[in-house]
A = this chain, B = another copy of it.
């Protein structure tokens, strides 16, 4: 009997990857007088991967990786005013309006009447809390967990902390390696809702999915009817 439903935030509740894609376009623009845009995209990704273990996820990490990419690719010729433009890109990301995905407000409100809802998300602690506060749906979530990674251990720790049995726990998200596979592995249920943009780092080879049972939906608005089906089956 399902009691807890946890949602990933970025690109599950609100648009996020689009902000990074737009920021990347602006970075290409800033660096266009120094270097071609393909090289910018390639080097930025490599810099982010190299820094991930030290910086973690989120806009501030991305900002530092953009600056590092700019310095590297221009062989230190980048100007102070171009560095300032890059910092402004990051500040605009932090200040940008929270754009909820379609069906999110209604679905969350509806589900909160029958289930205990949580958010489990990676990213900057403050940035994620601020986005949730500005989202207009904060009140429907009983707990909010900002975590530095989403592994089986992470989910086990969160469930332990609140005394939640895995079989009463359902995770919803747009990332198979972060939101789906580890939850299935510890005995929980998961719903995969793909987003049209997914960060390369967050994709997974198909063969990893064999023998793992999970649900897949086109959008979050289909969640209540999936839950009804599940209840009937029980």
List the interface of chain A (C-beta within 8 A of B).
Answer: 54-57, 60-61, 63-64, 67-68, 70-71, 74-81, 83-84, 87, 90-91, 94-95, 124-127, 129, 143, 146-148, 161-162
Contact = CB atoms under 8 A, between A and B. Distances in A.
Which of A60, A124, A126 neighbours the largest number of chain B CB atoms within 10 Å of its CB?
Answer: A126
A77 B87 CA distance: 16
Contact of A61 (B60, B74, B79): B60
Contacts of A78: 80, 83
Contacts of A80: 70-71, 74-78
Nearest to A56: B126
A95 B54 contact: yes
Which of A55, A61, A63 neighbours the largest number of chain B CB atoms within 10 Å of its CB?
Answer: A55
Nearest to A91: B54
A189 to B, nearest CB: 24
A53 to B, nearest CB: 9
B54 A71 contact: no
Given A63-B64, A64-B60, A64-B90, A126 B55 contact: yes
A88 to B, nearest CB: 10
Given A56-B126, A56-B127, A125-B125, 8 more contacts: A56-B124, A56-B125, A64-B90, A68-B87, A70-B80, A71-B81, A75-B80, A77-B80
